[in-house]
Every structure is written in C-alpha cells, then in structure tokens.
C-alpha cells in the first residue's frame, strides 16, 4: 500500500504543481459554468418550478455540485493527460518507468479529484447562504469524493482512447453534454417516462446527483445509487488498467 501511495504521488506531482501555479485561473474556470447554471436555472426558472415542497434553489444546488464534480474532474484529467500522451509524449516515459499500472491510473486522476473537490466546495459554501436547508454530512463528503474519482477515471478512459483533440471533443459532445442536462441535475427524474428513467440510470451522473441531493437535504438515502456509482468507479478503473496495458502511446 505504501508503495502504491508513493507511486501515486510521483505520477501526480507534476499535475499538482501545474494546479498550484495556475490555481486562480483553474478556480475561475471551474466556477464560471456552475454559477451560470445557478443563476439561469436557480433564479431564472425558480418562480415556475417546485420540487418536493422545497425551494427550487435548494433542490438544484446539489445537482450543480454533482455536475461540477463531473465537469471539473473529467475535463482537467482528460485534457491534460491527452496532451501529455499525444503531444509531449511524457506518457511514454511513465510506461518505461518502474511504476505499476494502478499507480499510473490513480496518479493521473489526482488532478481531477483535487480540482473537482475545490470547485464543489466553493459551490457548497455559496449554497449554504442561498439554501439553509443544505447539510454537510459524512455521507455527503464520501459521495462527493467517490463522484470526483469516478469522473476522473472516466477522463483517463477518454484520454487513453482519444487519438486527437477532435476525438476528445466528440466524446464530450456525445457523452458529457447529454449527461449535463438529462441526468437529474436540474429536475427530478420521476417527471420523465419510465423508459427514459431506465436509460438515464445507466449514466453515472444520475446516481451522483441522486446521492448528493439525498445526503445534503436529509432525504432517504438511495443506497442502490451509491452501489451503482461505486460500480462505475470499479468499471472505469479496470478499463483504464486494460488500456494502460494495451496502449503504449
């Protein structure tokens, strides 16, 4: 275990240095989209929408936190790793070094996890002023960390599969963008037809939104969604290990 932790540190060291030197720019970029969603949906649509007898702003903030964990964790991991692999060729150096595949995968997720947690923390603090109904619980913290790790692993998957920036853009358009608007971040899935609900429960953001909302609002916790998100975590990790073994450049 200690060897694995050292490997994770060695792999993530350069990415964390990058984050430290660009912290202000990274934080601003991470917060712009969530704040726009909050203003547009939370206040622009709030007078016309009610969810579970809660103020709509209280309903939407956990969804925006889940969405921020997706966007911040995925984009920072996928973009940087894709550039390192295809253009700087630093991925080749990692592959010839005495590092385990698990250490490489988890090390490359660190930047996304840290950035996701930072952006989500600021959104949650802002949300406490806008919606006093929100609660910070251990289950919420665990769910948020699991979400950031899952979406960072998805970013590693996309970076390993992508052959160019165009491929990465196509992946974002076909996978990330639909999840942004359809996975229960801005509305309750119960309002959709059963078939659509079944399809959307096949996406990790749906489960992330569900568990973060329940944990922060004191609702009955959906343990099946937690298990499903953990399943996505394991699946993405195993896929990344396989891709690391089979794709050397």
Q: How many structural domains does the chain have?
A: 1
Q: Which residues of 93-103 are buried (b: 16+ CB within 10 A; e: fewer)?
A: ebbeeebeeeb
Q: What is the pLDDT of residues 116-145, one digit of tens each?
A: 998 899 999 988 888 888 999 999 999 999
Answer yes or no: are the C-beta atoms of 27 and 120 closer than 8 Å: no
For 72-84, write each residue's pLDDT tens digit: 899 888 888 887 7
Question: What is this structure's pTM?
Answer: 0.89
Residue 36 binned pLDDT confidence (cut-offs 50, 70, 90): confident
User: What is the chain's Cα-based Rg?
Assistant: 18
Q: How far is CA 144 from CA 87, 155, 195, 217, 239, in A?
A: 32, 16, 28, 14, 22
Q: What is the pLDDT of residue 244?
A: 86
Contact at 8 Å (CB) between 37 and 175? no
Domain assignment of residue 154, given as a range = 2-246
Q: What is the pLDDT of residues 66-115, one digit of tens each?
A: 999 999 899 888 888 887 777 766 676 777 777 888 888 898 899 889 98
Query: What residues have CB less than 8 Å from 133, skipping those under 6 apart?
Result: 54, 55, 58, 217
Rounded CA-CA distance 184/239 in Å is: 26
Which tens digit of pLDDT belongs to each residue from 205-248? 999 999 999 999 989 999 999 999 999 999 999 999 998 888 65
């Amino acid at each position: 275990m200690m060897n694995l932790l050292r490997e994770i540190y060695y792999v993530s060291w350069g990415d964390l240095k990058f984050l430290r030197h660009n912290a202000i720019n990274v934080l601003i970029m991470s917060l712009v989209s969530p704040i726009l969603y909050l203003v547009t949906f939370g206040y622009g649509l709030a007078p016309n929408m009610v969810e579970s007898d809660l103020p709509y702003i209280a309903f939407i903030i956990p969804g925006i936190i889940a969405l921020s964990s997706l966007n911040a964790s995925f984009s920072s991991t996928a973009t940087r790793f894709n550039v390192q692999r295809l253009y700087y060729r630093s991925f080749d150096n990692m592959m010839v070094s005495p590092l385990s595949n698990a250490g490489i995968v988890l090390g490359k997720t660190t930047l996304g996890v840290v950035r996701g947690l930072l952006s989500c923390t600021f959104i949650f603090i802002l949300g406490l002023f806008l919606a006093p109904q929100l609660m910070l619980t251990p289950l919420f913290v665990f769910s948020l960390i699991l979400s950031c790790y899952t979406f960072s692993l998805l970013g590693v998957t996309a970076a390993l599969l992508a052959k160019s920036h165009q491929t990465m853009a196509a992946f974002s358009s076909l996978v990330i963008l639909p999840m942004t608007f359809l996975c229960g971040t801005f509305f309750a899935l119960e309002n959709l037809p059963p078939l659509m609900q079944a399809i959307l429960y096949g996406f990790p953001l749906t489960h992330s939104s569900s568990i973060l909302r329940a944990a922060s609002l004191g609702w009955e916790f959906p343990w099946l969604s937690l298990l499903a998100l953990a399943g996505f975590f394991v699946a993405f990790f195993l896929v990344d290990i396989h891709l690391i073994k089979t794709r050397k450049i």
